[in-house]
Structure 1
Amino acid sequence: MPIRAFILVLIFSLLAGCASRKGVYHTVKQGQTLYRISQTYGVDPTQLARVNGVSDPTRLRVGQRLYIPQASRVQTVPKTIKAAKSESAVAKLQPKVPPRSVSPVKTSSPAKSKPAPPPKSPTKGLFAYPVKGKIVKHFGERAGNINRGVEFAVPRGTTVMAAAKGRVIYSGNGIKGYGHLIIIKHRDSYYTVYGYNEQNLVANGVDVVRGQRIALSGVPPSGGQARLHFEIRIGKEAVNPIFYLP
């Protein structure tokens, strides 16, 4: 996909995320695997693991909640009694040996629309903190609303820094709900998003380095406490930034 077209797709995904917040949370039950869950909801298992920060898809916990992007309702994940008993026996006798039934998760390819295959598991410290402040809004679902990033409470006018080396592909205030916004493209299909800025200090097409000043923090368009909205995306899929920060 040409980079210009891909930028539009990414921006439209931000707009869609702000407007619809579509998605549900599935609670893992005994005998369910990430692969079975992904097949039931019709999503790519690698994408599902990446969005939820699951580094080892073979070891889901009963009661663990998985965010299913684009799903409109919670579904019942089918399983045979034989399969459930088999998984339980393997878990009891050999807890360190992952079930063979989930092997497709490791071999699945990322969506063809993504420029390059991303890493299969999060890397701590891959990105630096864009600001120093308390997280006041976490990634995921809260009170029925889905947040695709984290928000840091910081004084108005705080310097916002690039989380990693990359190129600015968007700098403006044309996306509703984000105020002055910056999107930076990094290697391996990673993107970082910086919203609610009072002022952007870099323009489209500018190359930046890790820790470089790119904006001054501001207040959300809806008002309230000054803060920075920060996202990390792989392609157009938002992932939990906590798994990638130091």
Structure 2
Amino acid sequence: MMIMSRPILMIFFFVGVIFLAGCSTSGGRAPIVDRTVNIKNPITSTEKNGEKNKIKKKQEEEVKDSNQDWRPATYVVKKGDTLTEIALDHGLSYRELAKWNNIPNPNIISIGMILKLSPDKIKVTQGPKKDNVKRVKEKSQDSANQRGGRSNYISWIWPTTGQLAYDFGSGENTKGIGILGVSRQSVVASAPGIVVYSGSGIRAYGNMIIIKHNSRYLSVYAKNSVIMVQEGQSVAQGQKISEIGELDNRNYQLHFEIRRLGKPVDPVDFLPELSSMNYINRAAPIFRSSATRILNVLHAAGVLMISKDKGFSING
């Protein structure tokens, strides 16, 4: 029977711990795998048809549960408010708010100002009967579009690749998720839409992009290093819009949100899930990197002797 020395047992113990760590997930969620975003094929993971239907059902349930628009008719400006933040929290464009409230400079609003959150209703003057019928028909169609679940369904994709830094409801910003990345990593539009904001008007968000997808949904891409789109620009799904920004000490991270009528929802509920094999492939380099660090520590402690010719040998 072979008896292993204490240093050997220590090595097996450390490697076993690293193996278990490499197989675990952060926050109970599988990491996002590296992949090339394809505009023609928006869902790039190996998802099944059932997963696609699950995401669609989730969106339709949200619309069904909230047929009534929660947003009030007006909003009273408070200390610290910006027009950009007010617009985001109500699912609107700050330019729309400025126009509806006759604000010449969107950067200047005063405490106590009452903002209208919708345009004034257009008064219809009496005219030919045929014209009235046409207006009623258009209004009915618009109402149907706002209530209907199918017209609001969006097939989303991940905006970038990397591991989740924090989940929805946790982290420094609880309104979205954080995705880790590297320098100059691309960020793409999660769904097609129009850029309604591009700038740094909200301090906690840094360089930020807001894309409006329809009358209900917005997506937010924050803490970017470089912004590559302008306000009013139409973007396609998968189109590069920015690059991930550096937080501190060479840590790169994207903050991503999906908002329905201004209210944050968990993006993971709308994004496609990933296959277990992709997760294993992602975990492998994490294991190798961690194991290398442990071996270096053992070498520094004199437990291991590392040689370019003979590899490594165990002391003791």
**Change over 3 Å in CA distance of 1:235–1:108 after alignment to 2:** closer
List per-residue Cα deviations over 1:164-204 (Å, max 9, x = no partner): 11000100122101111000000241100001100000011
Q: Which residue of 1 aligns with 2:209?
A: 182
Is 1:111 the counterpart of 2:70? The answer is yes
CA contact (8 A) 1:110 1:117 kept: no
Q: Which residue of 2 aligns with 1:235?
A: 261
> TM-score, structure 2 length as denominator?
0.40
**Change over 3 Å in CA distance of 1:194–1:223 after alignment to 2:** farther
CA contact (8 A) 1:118 1:189 kept: no
Q: Which residue of 1 aligns with 2:159?
A: 130
The code of the aligned residue for 2:218 comes to: Y
Q: Which residue of 1 aligns with 2:270?
A: 244
List per-residue Cα deviations over 1:63-93 (Å, max 9, x = no partner): xxxxxxxxxxxxxxxxxxxxxxxxxxxxxxx
Deviation at 1:126, TM superposition (A): 2.2
The code of the aligned residue for 1:131 comes to: T
Whole-angstrom distance in 1 between the partners of 2:203 and 2:242: 18
Deviation at 1:132, TM superposition (A): 1.0
- Determine helix, strand or coil for the equivalent of 1:140: coil
Whole-angstrom distance in 2 between the partners of 1:178 and 1:153: 16
Q: Which has the larger radius of gyration?
A: 2
CA RMSD of aligned residues (A): 3.1
Higher percent of residues as strand: 1
- Write the mapping of 1:18-167 to structure 2, written as runs, cut at 5 A: 106=65, 109-111=68-70, 116-117=146-147, 119=149, 126-141=155-170, 147-167=174-194
Deviation at 1:212, TM superposition (A): 0.3
Q: Which residue of 2 aligns with 1:67?
A: none
Structure 2: gaps (5+ residues) = 1-57, 73-90, 92-117, 119-145, 273-316
Is 1:226 the counterpart of 2:255? The answer is no
Deviation at 1:146, TM superposition (A): 5.5
List per-residue Cα deviations over 1:40-80 (Å, max 9, x = no partner): xxxxxxxxxxxxx79879xxxxxxxxxxxxxxxxxxxxxxx
Whole-angstrom distance in 2 between the partners of 1:133 and 1:196: 15
The code of the aligned residue for 2:169 comes to: G
> TM-score, structure 1 length as denominator?
0.50
Higher percent of residues as helix: 2
CA contact (8 A) 2:160 2:187 kept: yes
Larger RCO: 1 or 2 (CA < 8 Å, sep 6+): 2
CA contact (8 A) 2:67 2:147 kept: no
Whole-angstrom distance in 2 between the partners of 1:179 and 1:107: 31
Whole-angstrom distance in 2 between the partners of 1:162 and 1:213: 7
Aligned residues between the structures: 142
Displaced runs of 4 or more, over 4 A? 53-57, 105-108, 112-115, 117-120
Structure 1: gaps (5+ residues) = 1-52, 58-104
**Change over 3 Å in CA distance of 1:181–1:117 after alignment to 2:** farther
CA contact (8 A) 1:117 1:188 kept: no
**Change over 3 Å in CA distance of 1:185–1:134 after alignment to 2:** same
Q: Which residue of 1 aligns with 2:121?
A: none
Deviation at 1:219, TM superposition (A): 1.9
- Determine helix, strand or coil for the equivalent of 2:251: coil
Whole-angstrom distance in 2 between the partners of 1:186 and 1:217: 22
Whole-angstrom distance in 1 between the partners of 2:156 and 2:61: 21
CA contact (8 A) 1:118 1:234 kept: no
